[in-house]
């Protein structure tokens, strides 16, 4: 690795590595600030497919400018070294935060989920699907600002159906059923993965576990999603239903947009006293109950009083079963690409 790229970016230390690239902490000697430099691994520089994918990453990520998305500053090539320059964050990943606390408080989980949704809403409105939403790719800086990182595996959809090989890059614990099947991916695939992340924030656990990536992928396809309250009894029904709506097996039955999730979570925040009282079976006067039900029926896309949600158990649904060999093929393709986290240990500093 060169000490300085294009006479501008002085490499200081490696801070992360993924399937396609290595990430370095560097200093921009022109603007006198620290940056993160993502460098395509040398074994791929002669592979035109990988180079094209890396260039697509650069162009896609550079289109996004949002407070909840890691900024891309520059791209380039120097003596066969392909690189992207991003903002450098001091903080921790959401994965580290969940592991440290064995789950998050409901208020913290809701606030983080809203910020992730803000990032996704911006990306989706620009025709970009992340496809690898997971706690490892979500950073929390020293000011508690949430930043979604690694749009390097995102693709601009531009009204085109993605190919099967393009659909295999998500981490299997957060796979949508359509990703596991190698099917068509859209914005609602990100919403499914977000629902899994939200579940993990609320409970400290992922909903599906297994001895292999293939076993976990099969569960995403075949098994009904458990409610967060099956692990954490204190979760209000309203938040159960938000998670279950995000993670419906059918794309058409999920939230239509990340912005719709924000709307429901803001309604929860405005009325959480009533939701928590209902969750704890506390006495609420009839007038408040009537107001709550009226509020839900008129403004919300989920109904927390409905305890017969289609995803409330852990039974398998035969109509969702698919050929195990196809799942294995998809997961094997995923393993060959981006199983590692490419920005897991990145940190934030001021300019």
For residues 128 and 122, what is the distance between their CA atoms, to the nearest angstrom? 9
Q: pLDDT value at position 271?
A: 86
Most confidently predicted of 11-20, 171-180, 292-301, 323-332:
171-180
By the 8 A CB rule, do 36 and 24 touch? yes
Residue with tokens 């809701």: 110
Question: Has residue 193 got a pLDDT over 90?
Answer: yes
Angle, CA of 301, 306 and 307, to the nearest 5°: 135
DSSP per-residue letters across 204-251: SS-S---SSHHHHHHHHHHBPPPPGGGT-TTS-HHHHHHHHHHT-SSG
At residue 65, the 3 state secondary structure works out as: coil
Retrieve residue 63's tokens.
Answer: 């289109």
In this structure, the strands spanning 21-28 and 72-78 are unpaired
At the second CATH level, the architecture of 92-313 is Orthogonal Bundle (1.10)
For residues 64 and 120, what is the distance between their CA atoms, to the nearest angstrom? 10
pLDDT tens per residue, range 79-111? 989 898 999 998 899 999 999 999 999 999 999
Q: What is the dihedral of CA 170, 175, 180, 183, to 10 degrees?
A: -80
By the 8 A CB rule, do 94 and 197 touch? yes
Question: Has residue 10 got a pLDDT over 50?
Answer: yes
pLDDT tens per residue, range 178-190? 988 988 889 999 9
Q: pLDDT value at position 188?
A: 96
CATH superfamily label, 4-87: Phosphorylase Kinase; domain 1 (3.30.200.20)
By the 8 A CB rule, do 187 and 124 touch? yes
Locate the domains of the chain by residue range.
4-87, 92-313
Question: Has residue 335 got a pLDDT over 60?
Answer: no
Counting residues of the chain whose pLDDT is more than 70, the rounded percentage is 72
CA separation (Å) from 344 to 60, 95, 96, 228, 341? 20, 9, 9, 26, 5
Burial 128-148 (b: 16+ CB within 10 A, else e): bbbbbbbbbbbbbbeeeebbb
At residue 334, the 3 state secondary structure works out as: helix
Question: Has residue 281 got a pLDDT over 80?
Answer: no
By the 8 A CB rule, do 148 and 130 touch? yes
Q: What is the dihedral of CA 165, 169, 172, 173, to 10 degrees?
A: -150
CA separation (Å) from 213 to 29, 175, 323, 325? 43, 10, 15, 13
Domains 4-87 and 92-313 share a fold: no
Residue with tokens 């954490």: 232
Question: Has residue 330 got a pLDDT over 80?
Answer: no
For residues 307 and 265, what is the distance between their CA atoms, to the nearest angstrom? 19
Which has the minimum average pLDDT: 59-63, 89-93, 130-134?
59-63
**Whose CA is closest to 17, among 334, 336, 345?**
345
Among all residues, which ones are annotated catalytic? 132
**Whose CA is closest to 228, among 98, 106, 97?**
106
Average pLDDT over residues 145-163: 57
At residue 33, the 3 state secondary structure works out as: strand
Q: pLDDT value at position 262?
A: 98
């Amino acid at each position: 690795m060169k000490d300085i790229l294009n006479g501008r970016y002085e490499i200081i230390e490696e801070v992360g590595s993924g399937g396609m690239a290595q990430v370095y902490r560097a200093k921009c000697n022109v603007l006198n600030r620290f940056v993160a430099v993502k460098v395509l691994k040398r074994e791929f520089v002669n592979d035109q497919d990988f180079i094209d994918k890396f260039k697509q990453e650069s162009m896609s990520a550079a289109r996004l400018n949002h407070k909840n998305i890691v900024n891309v500053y520059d791209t380039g090539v120097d003596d066969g070294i392909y690189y992207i320059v991003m903002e450098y964050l001091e903080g921790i990943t959401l994965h580290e935060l969940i592991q440290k606390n064995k789950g998050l408080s409901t208020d913290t989980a809701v606030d983080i989920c809203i910020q992730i949704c803000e990032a996704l809403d911006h990306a989706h409105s620009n025709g970009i699907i992340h496809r690898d939403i997971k706690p490892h790719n979500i950073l929390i800086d020293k000011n508690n600002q949430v930043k979604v990182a690694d749009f390097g595996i995102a693709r601009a959809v531009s009204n085109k159906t993605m190919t099967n090989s393009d659909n295999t890059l998500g981490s299997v614990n957060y796979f949508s059923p359509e990703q596991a099947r190698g099917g068509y991916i859209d914005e609602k695939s990100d919403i499914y993965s977000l629902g899994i992340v939200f579940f993990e924030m609320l409970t400290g656990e992922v909903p599906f576990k297994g001895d292999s990536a293939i076993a976990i992928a099969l569960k995403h396809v075949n098994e009904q999603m458990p409610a967060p309250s099956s692990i954490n009894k204190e979760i209000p029904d309203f938040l159960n239903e938000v998670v279950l709506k995000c993670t419906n097996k059918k794309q058409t039955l999920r939230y239509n947009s990340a912005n719709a999730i924000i709307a429901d979570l803001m309604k929860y925040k405005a009325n959480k006293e009533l939701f928590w009282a209902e969750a704890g079976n506390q006495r609420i006067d009839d007038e408040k109950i009537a107001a709550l039900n009226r509020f839900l029926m008129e403004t919300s896309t989920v109904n927390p009083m409905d305890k017969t949600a289609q995803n409330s158990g852990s039974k398998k649904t035969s109509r969702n079963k698919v050929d195990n060999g196809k799942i294995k093929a998809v997961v094997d393709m995923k393993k060959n690409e981006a199983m590692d986290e490419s920005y897991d240990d990145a940190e934030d500093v001021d300019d």
